[in-house]
């Protein structure tokens, strides 16, 4: 009898430690599907999309472009031939891309996409910018190594 009691106690302790202790089921719950991990097939979640656009959620969560860059963009569009404004805009976008990529607490799926966008914009202004080329290639390599398409 003592052996039987210790076996039962050991079984209860083991089940409790594993988080698999059986829970009582009320009659109202018995018609509900079993939760995942209890013999029910796993539920497939629908891909997250932004409410009205149908675009992936990550695209909807891109951080807004800083006001300083927006001001420089307006100035550059007014003075598109001004090399100084063009260089300032490229530098500001490069700095913001680096901040997103290396210092941001955003999740990788958001920060890499935003940083890649900035590096591409830098390269549109300054195609020979070595830092933007290097960082753009690094992000593209990360996507490729995960077997994911590089965002456009």
User: Does some domain include residue 33?
Assistant: no
Provide φ and ψ at 146, rounded to 5°. -90, 0
**Domain boundaries, position 123:** 65-145
User: Does some domain include residue 47?
Assistant: no
Question: Residue 88 contacts by C-beta under 8 Å, 6 or more apart in sequence?
Answer: 72
User: Does some domain include residue 1?
Assistant: no
CATH code for position 118? 1.25.40
* CA–CA distance, 119 with 68 (Å, rounded to integer): 17
User: Does some domain include residue 120?
Assistant: yes
User: Does some domain include residue 34?
Assistant: no
Q: What is the pTM of this model?
A: 0.60
User: Per residue in 62-91, is it b (16+ CB within 10 Å) or e — as a string?
Assistant: eeebeeebeebbeebeeeeeeeebbebbbe
User: Does some domain include residue 74?
Assistant: yes
pLDDT tens string 96-136: 999 999 998 899 889 999 999 999 999 999 999 999 999 99
Domains: count for the chain: 1
pLDDT tens string 27-64: 444 445 544 444 444 444 444 433 343 444 444 467 88
User: Does some domain include residue 70?
Assistant: yes
- Structure confidence at residue 129 (pLDDT): 97
* CA–CA distance, 21 with 2 (Å, rounded to integer): 23
């Amino acid at each position: 009898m003592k052996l039987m009691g210790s076996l039962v106690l050991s079984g209860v302790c083991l089940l409790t430690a594993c988080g698999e202790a059986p829970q009582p089921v009320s009659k109202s719950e018995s018609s509900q599907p079993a939760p995942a991990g209890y013999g029910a097939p796993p539920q497939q979640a629908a891909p997250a999309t932004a409410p009205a656009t149908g675009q992936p959620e990550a695209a909807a969560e891109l951080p807004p472009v800083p006001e300083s860059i927006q001001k420089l963009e307006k100035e550059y569009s007014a003075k598109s031939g001004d090399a100084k404004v063009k260089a300032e805009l490229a530098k500001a976008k490069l700095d913001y891309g680096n901040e997103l990529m290396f210092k941001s607490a955003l999740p990788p799926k958001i920060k890499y996409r935003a940083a890649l966008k900035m590096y591409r914009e830098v390269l549109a202004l300054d195609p020979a910018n070595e830092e933007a080329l290097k960082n753009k290639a690094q992000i593209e390599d990360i996507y490729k190594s995960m077997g994911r398409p590089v965002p456009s």
